Every structure is written in structure tokens, then in C-alpha cells.
Amino acid sequence: MSMRFVALLGLVALQACAPLSRVTLLPQDDGRATAVQVQSASGVVDVTQPYQTAALQRDGRLTAQQSSAEEVRAAYGPLLALPVPAAARFTLQFEPGSSVLTAESQSQLEGILAQARARAGGEMVVVGHTDRTGSPQANDTLSLQRAQAVRELLIKQGFAPELVEAVGRGEREPLVPTEANVSEPRNRRAEIIVR
């Protein structure tokens, strides 16, 4: 058997063992803790530590393993060296108790959409928020309705649906902390994060 054939056979064996897909959690520059949940037909893996990896194996299994900064740099150094633009953030305000944008936000929408279109190929997350009037359960529902309303506006303007995610945070992340049942217009908002 020639050396060339043995090397080729080894390469084929390595490719057959390599995962189909891999997700590695990188640490945040500001030290914040983050996590991601990876799901496949065979199960779910919570990736909660920096440099932890979830890999979808060729046989369909989803596995987790801990990597290191050195291993990730060795495997992905050129990719990690690419400059990553900071996310662009925009805020829209809503009328009380509704998913209707205020007149001021309506007037700002075109400029926000133009800035979002100018960013290269990014995905968007629309995060809905409420003030503290009403019950926490009702505010969870309303915040998601606000995010979904803005998502629909973005899609109608030509943004790809699969790149626009809508999530609600209820009253949990106020811009202006208040007591319960206090109406605060700055907390009735949706944030558009373009990455």
C-alpha cells in the first residue's frame, strides 16, 4: 500500500469522524456570563461556559465538551481576527397598553430602517418591553406583541423573516425603575438590535 493512499485514507477517516456542525461559546469582552441552548432531533445541550462546545455528530447525536482558549485560537485564529462591528441599537416607543407606535417613533421608523439596511447582512432581534402597569403576566404578553408588531413592520419593509427574531421581556428590564403600577413612557419600548 502506497504512503499516498494511507494518507488519503486517514484524511477520509478524519472527515468521517468530524461533526456536521459545532457551536462554541466565546467569552464576552465585558465579562458578562452568557449561555446558548443547542437543540437537535436527538436532544438539547446547554452551553454555559466559555469555550464549551456542542457538536452535532454524523450519527445524529448531540455532544458537549469543554475546549480551551488555545484550542479555539488554533482552530479559528483567522476567523477570530476579523473585525466585528458593534451591534446597532434602535429604540421605538409605544402608546400605553398597546402595540401601536407613538407618533414620534412612527416618524423615526424610516431612518431606523435605512440604517439597518446599510449594515452588512446582519440578523435582528426585536426586544419588547413594558412599564409596570398591569400584571406581570399581562406585561409578558404585551411585550411580545410589541416585538412581533415591529418584526412584522421590518418584514413588510423587505427584511428576511428568518433573520428577524421577536422576544418579550415584560417589565423586567426597565430603562427607568419605578414602583408597581406606575406609568413610565420610556419603559414602553421595543429595542431593535442589528448584528
DSSP 82: S
Full 3-state SS string of 132-185:
CCCCHHHHHHHHHHHHHHHHHHHHHCCCCHHHEEEEECCCCCCCCCCCCCCCCH
DSSP 79: H
3-state secondary structure of 102: coil
Domain ranges of the chain: 18-81, 88-194
Residue 138: all three cell numbers together: 399581562
C-alpha distance across the termini of the chain, in Å:
52
Which residue in the block uniquely carries the three cell numbers 486517514?
10
Which range in 23-27, 38-42, 147-151 is most confidently predicted, on average pLDDT? 147-151
- CATH top-level class of 88-194: alpha beta
Q: What share of the chain in percent tops pLDDT 90?
A: 47
Query: What was the pLDDT predicted at 17?
Result: 57
* Consecutive H or E run containing 62: strand 62-66
Residue 21: all three cell numbers together: 456542525
Write the pLDDT tens digit of every residue in 73-112.
998 889 888 887 788 899 999 999 999 999 999 999 888 8
Nearest of 140, 137, 153, 138 to residue 100 by alpha carbon: 153
Identity of the residue numbered 110: E
Write the pLDDT tens digit of every residue in 35-82.
888 888 888 888 899 999 888 888 888 888 998 999 989 988 898 888
Residue 123: which pLDDT band, with cuts at 50, 70 and 90? Answer: confident
Identity of the residue numbered 2: S
